[in-house]
Amino acid sequence: YFFSRVAAMTAVEALFLLLLAEDKTFMAHIKAHEALIAETKI
């Protein structure tokens, strides 16, 4: 159960990134958000 959940989340994230890869402004916002929350990630 846990493996299928992780695999599904990875697939969704990959599709999300592929769809947004063409628009550089969205990627800039995502990178800025990731930089802000990077310290709180485990």
Global pTM value: 0.45
Residue 1, pLDDT > 70, answer no
Report the pLDDT value the prediction gives residue 16, as an integer from 0 to 100.
Answer: 82
Domain that holds residue 27: 2-40
The answer to whether 35 and 28 are in contact (CB under 8 A) is no
Mean pLDDT on 12-36: 83
Mean pLDDT on 12-41: 83
| Counted domains in the chain | 1
Distance spanning both ends of the chain, measured CA to CA: 22
Residue 42, pLDDT > 80, answer no
Q: What is the average pLDDT score of the chain?
A: 82
Residue 29, pLDDT > 80, answer yes
